[in-house]
Amino acid sequence: MVFLQYLIPQHLLSKCMHRFARIEIVWLKNTFLRWFVKKYGVNLAEAEREKIEDYCHINDFFTRSLKSSARVVESAEIVSPVDGVVSQAGGIRSSQILQAKGHHYSVQQLLADKSSIQFENGQFATIYLSPKDYHRIHMPFDGKLKSMTYIPGDLFSVNQKTAESVDGLFARNERLVCYFETAFGEVAFILVGAIMVGSMEVVWQGKITPPYTKSIKEYEYSDKSIKLVKGEEMGRFNMGSTVILLLPENASKMDLIESQSVRMGQAVV
């Protein structure tokens, strides 16, 4: 039940999952993964390593790579960065983002009070990754990295039931905000942490969590030339979580609807 998430030690449980997911006891790892694959219907046929015995620990499985033929990065200006389900998508008006029916939160809250004027009259997309999904995150467009902000917070679940119950969920949870300069202006690409998500990492900085901190961390890259092309891996989750895209007004309109399933590389415009 959702109210129990207010009571449980969210960060402690996530630390325990982080450790558990890296245990290399063969029988334990294999037993858990057999159960997990059956329980969630994981499609191992598309993975580079199809046998669970070939993974050294549980996190190795969760962050598995796919065969090169498993996903096609389409030629559209913007593609889905992940495999997942669209929680919500739409326009940004008066700095408000729709979280779920009856629940809105502000862009300023999401960005920890940073300026959000560049996203006014723009658009957003929130995509949920379930535990069974491919957990690597890819660039939805070409972009040059400008900066990144780690924002500490809660670790509520990010599934639909919780999104419909916890006010400002995505602006309350721990998150990593990556700012990119693109052909259509500055965008924010946000990785949202969640309960049992053992870590978030990005290719240019490595693992960000754990450890969990209580203060905001700023990373500046304007003096570096970190450029990523559409479809290139930019980060990964352990277990599953949520990504949010904030786009400026002059970006192509994303054609996404609530509860739509998407796959990495799929055109969304």
The residues assigned a catalytic role are 83, 138, 241
User: Which are the contacts of 259, defined by CB distance < 8 A and separation ≥ 6?
Assistant: 85, 86
CA dist., res. 214 & res. 221, Å (int): 23
Best CA proximity match to 230, nearest among 104, 143, 111, 116: 143
CB 153 within 8 A of CB 235: no
Measured distance CA(79)–CA(103) in Å, rounded? 27
Among candidate residues 87, 135, 142, 100, the one with its CA nearest the CA of residue 259: 87
With b meaning 16 or more CB within 10 Å and e meaning fewer, what string describes 252-262?
Answer: eebebeeeeeb
| Residues 170, 158: Cα–Cα separation, whole Å | 8
